[in-house]
Amino acid sequence: MINQVYQLVSPKVFSVKYDDVSYGDKLIVQPEYMAVCRADQRYYLGQRDAKTLRKKLPMALIHECCGRVVYDPEGTMAGQRVVLIPNVATADSDVIYENYRAGSYFLSSGYDGFMRELVALDRRQVLPCGNVPPQVAAITEFVSVGVHAVERFDRIAHDIRNRIGIWGDGSLAYVVANLLRIRYPHCCLVVVGHSLRKLSLFSFADETYLSDDIPDDLAIDHAFECCGGEGSYAALEDIIRYIRPQGTVMLMGVSENRVPVQTRMVLEKGLTMVGCSRSGRADFEAAVSLMADTALQRRLRAIITEVAPVRSIEDIYRVFSDDLTTPFKTVFQWRL
Amino acid sequence: MIFGAILAGGVGSRMHMADMPKQFLPLGDKPILIHTLEKFLTCSRFETVYIGTHADWINYTEDLVGKYVPHARGRVRVVCGGENRNETIQNIIAALEADYGPDDDHIIVTHDAVRPFVTLRMLEENIDQALQWGAVDTVTPAVDTIVVSGDGATIRDIPDRKQMYQGQTPQSFRVTLLRELYRSLTEEEKGVLTDACKICVVRDYPVHLVEGSYTNLKITTPGDYKIAQAMVGGDILD
């Protein structure tokens, strides 16, 4: 059947591409709710470098999405609400995570994301999300990225985990802090951010500090950098300064620019810096399992702003514009 | 219950490009009708999708269904079309009432086979609004100024464009309502019907509007067909 794919062809310009979706081996999913990621917004605003934009566009945006299965060749999943997994692994490995594996690719980075009328996916790219409300299920990919980072941290970091620092007060920091709270209920969580208003949402953290008012004697065993962008440099400076020897630094914030790192101190303290990006199916499964808990659903709802449904291309422009004014995650119903 | 009714009774006289009716011409890799049927079949709310086609093309249509959507063969029924669009709809109503019995809650979503760009959103909004109001039309705001001419030579009127819409399909109805309104028309009234919604309009039954799309193209002429092929990146048959 003819399927409508809503592609970003150049910054702030969408166009419809028509492709053919046939009943075959793949499941067909109708997207229902989507969330905007900062990466989508960077493409929309043209904040990637010109060479990247030339290479990746035209492309449908959005990789955070839940939907309903409208066709399953095996019949078992038809009608179910599912989370869509944008990571596509093309090779197996017992050592390398699928999100870092050579040949893996990602829908909405060089390949069409989920802004389509229908999406045909392999079975391993969908995951039933049970009773998680669709507005919350829409951000499962985002939560899974946090799950992945915490999982890696747990495998890599030394066992002294009395105080963990989180740099950032945005959506990613909030999700990571929540996941750390669940994983390490007795650990002292320290959150450092720019905005008092945003920091106030971290009510479950033990200590919160404004980045320009960090006590000199602050000490943490490990840290998660969740700032990215212009904030990466300052966050890393602080982390390296306040972290104790042999701590692990999980790098999660994306920056378009090169970020200077004070390697002398990294060496002196024997720090481990771990890059973390995206997630794999196992992380989605863990995320959905955690999100079945209504307490976490309530926490996540606190960062979700649901804007009016998208029923036309004009609405897509509106959503990206709205997203610039919402403090955390922008979620919307997809009615195209 | 909710039923799809794909109107594929055309004989393609306006196309002049092939021996077969236009709904059977390939668009991309498959016949236009199949694109339309597949979209209907993805909507799980349809109990059965009826296809009304000319008697000579019933077997051919059944072959296509078996070839392209074998998994959904049980949800598709091909029935003989009538003399015109509304007679075809009445034939489909007779078939579905024979299959499922008459019921005041039955809804029928009628659609041109040659509008393969219909979206699931349009189908679902048609169903929702037909359940609520009983009669629904899919329209887009008129882009061009509409000019009325009685004699074909001079302008009689230029209505306010803001009030003008272009009718598309789907058009959806409560089955019993459409059947009874149609039966109440005289042969003369039936003669001036251009589409199914007009049946309601003639009898002053309100028809609610669903937003269509300019891309919900009706493939009627060779030009439309070329545009549609260009939209899906298919080869142009000429």
Residue of A18, A19, A30 lying closest to B120 (CB–CB)? A30
Which residue from A332, A333, A282 is spatially nearest to A305, judged by alpha carbons? Answer: A332
Residue A73: count other Cβ atoms within 10 Å of its Cβ. 15
In a domain, A283, yes or no: no
Residue A25: count other Cβ atoms within 10 Å of its Cβ. 10
Task: Please tell me the distance in Å from B231's CA to the nearest CA on chain A.
Answer: 6
CB interface of B with A, residues 176-195, below 8 Å: none
Domain with residue A89: its CATH number is 3.90.180.10
Question: Which residues of B fall within a CB distance of 8 Å from A73?
Answer: 71
Q: Are A39 and A72 in contact (CB under 8 A)?
A: no
- Cβ–Cβ gap A73/B71 under 8 Å: yes
> Looking at the structure, do residues A234 and A321 belong to the same domain, yes or no?
no
Q: What is the mean pLDDT of chain A?
A: 96
- Cβ–Cβ gap A2/B72 under 8 Å: no
B2-139+166-232 adopts what CATH topology? Spore Coat Polysaccharide Biosynthesis Protein SpsA; Chain A (3.90.550)
> Looking at the structure, do residues A224 and A262 belong to the same domain, yes or no?
yes
Task: Please tell me the distance in Å from B124's CA to the nearest CA on chain A.
Answer: 10
In a domain, A281, yes or no: no
> What are the tens digits of pLDDT across the range B183-214?
999 988 888 888 899 999 999 999 999 999 99
> Looking at the structure, do residues A94 and A196 belong to the same domain, yes or no?
no
> Looking at the structure, do residues A90 and A215 belong to the same domain, yes or no?
no
Domain with residue A228: its CATH number is 3.40.50.720
Residue of A20, A71, A336 lying closest to B232 (CB–CB)? A20
What is residue B235's predicted lDDT score, i.e. its pLDDT?
60
Of all residues in chain B, the one with the smallest CA distance to A25 is B71
> What are the tens digits of pLDDT across the range A77-113?
999 999 999 999 988 999 999 999 999 999 999 899 9
**Which pTM was predicted?**
0.91
A333 touches chain B (CB under 8 A): no
| Rounded Cα distance, A47 and A94, in Å | 36
| Rounded Cα distance, B203 and B62, in Å | 36
Task: Collapse the DSSP code of B24 into the 3-class scheme (helix H, G, I; strand E, B; otherwise coil) and give the result.
Answer: helix
Residue A313 has pLDDT above 80, yes or no: yes
Which residue from A117, A139, A101 is spatially nearest to A60, judged by alpha carbons? Answer: A117
Query: Bigger pLDDT: A209 or B20?
Result: A209
Question: Which residues of A fall within a CB distance of 8 Å from B211?
Answer: 311
What is residue A75's predicted lDDT score, i.e. its pLDDT?
86
B209 touches chain A (CB under 8 A): no
In a domain, A286, yes or no: no
| Rounded Cα distance, A149 and A275, in Å | 9
Of all residues in chain B, the one with the smallest CA distance to A5 is B232
Boundary of a domain, candidates A257, A275, A293: A275
What is residue B200's predicted lDDT score, i.e. its pLDDT?
95
- Cβ–Cβ gap A118/B42 under 8 Å: yes
Boundary of a domain, candidates A275, A290, A316: A275
Preceding amide of B21 cis, omega within 30: no
In sequence order, what E strands does A11-162 have?
13-20, 27-35, 59-60, 64-71, 81-84, 87-88, 105-107, 110-111, 119-121, 126-128
- Scan for tokens 């019907």, then name that residue: B193
Residue type, A203: S
- Per-residue confidence in pLDDT tens, chain B, 238 aa: 999 999 998 775 555 555 678 999 999 999 999 999 999 999 999 999 999 999 999 999 999 999 999 999 999 999 999 989 999 999 999 999 999 999 999 999 999 999 999 999 999 999 999 999 999 999 999 999 999 999 999 999 999 999 999 999 999 999 999 999 999 999 888 888 888 999 999 999 999 999 999 999 999 998 999 999 999 986 655 4
What is residue B12's predicted lDDT score, i.e. its pLDDT?
56
Q: Are A1 and B38 in contact (CB under 8 A)?
A: yes
When pLDDT is averaged across residues A165-186 and rounded to a whole number, the result is 97
> Looking at the structure, do residues A119 and A153 belong to the same domain, yes or no?
no
Which residue from A336, A333, A332, A319 is spatially nearest to A41, judged by alpha carbons? Answer: A319
Task: Collapse the DSSP code of B178 into the 3-class scheme (helix H, G, I; strand E, B; otherwise coil) and give the result.
Answer: helix
* Rg, Å, chain A Cα set: 20
- Cβ–Cβ gap A20/B35 under 8 Å: yes
> What are the tens digits of pLDDT across the range A290-300?
999 999 999 99
In DSSP terms, A30 is beta-bridged to A68
- Cβ–Cβ gap A2/B43 under 8 Å: no
> Looking at the structure, do residues A240 and A152 belong to the same domain, yes or no?
yes
Q: Are A211 and A193 in contact (CB under 8 A)?
A: yes
| Rounded Cα distance, B114 and B167, in Å | 14
Task: Please tell me the distance in Å from A306's CA to the nearest CA on chain B.
Answer: 20
Task: Please tell me the distance in Å from A51's CA to the nearest CA on chain B.
Answer: 27
The domain tally of chain A equals 2
When pLDDT is averaged across residues A6-34 and rounded to a whole number, the result is 95
- Cβ–Cβ gap B38/A4 under 8 Å: no
What is residue B195's predicted lDDT score, i.e. its pLDDT?
87
In sequence order, what E strands does B105-164 have?
107-112, 135-141
Question: Which residues of B fall within a CB distance of 8 Å from A1?
Answer: 34-36, 38-39, 42, 116
CB interface of A with B, residues 107-166, below 8 Å: 117-118
Task: Please tell me the distance in Å from A19's CA to the nearest CA on chain B.
Answer: 6
B232 touches chain A (CB under 8 A): yes
A22 touches chain B (CB under 8 A): yes
- Cβ–Cβ gap A18/B30 under 8 Å: no
Question: Which residues of B fall within a CB distance of 8 Å from A20?
Answer: 28-30, 35, 232
Q: Are B135 and B200 in contact (CB under 8 A)?
A: yes
> What are the tens digits of pLDDT across the range A271-286?
999 999 999 999 999 9
> Looking at the structure, do residues A262 and A311 belong to the same domain, yes or no?
no
- Cβ–Cβ gap A311/B38 under 8 Å: no
ipTM of the complex: 0.85
> Looking at the structure, do residues A7 and A133 belong to the same domain, yes or no?
yes
- Cβ–Cβ gap A23/B38 under 8 Å: yes
Residue of A20, A28, A336 lying closest to B42 (CB–CB)? A28
> Looking at the structure, do residues A196 and A269 belong to the same domain, yes or no?
yes
In a domain, A167, yes or no: yes
Residue of B39, B121, B231 lying closest to A1 (CB–CB)? B39
Q: How far lies B173's CA from each of B26, B48, B105, B130, B196, in Å?
A: 30, 15, 10, 6, 9
> Looking at the structure, do residues A159 and A128 belong to the same domain, yes or no?
no
Show the domain range for A240: 144-275
Q: Are A241 and A217 in contact (CB under 8 A)?
A: no
A79 touches chain B (CB under 8 A): yes
Interaxial angle between packed helices B120-133 and B32-42, expressed in degrees from 0 to 180 and rounded to the nearest 10? 60
Of all residues in chain A, the one with the smallest CA distance to B69 is A23
In a domain, A294, yes or no: no
In a domain, A282, yes or no: no
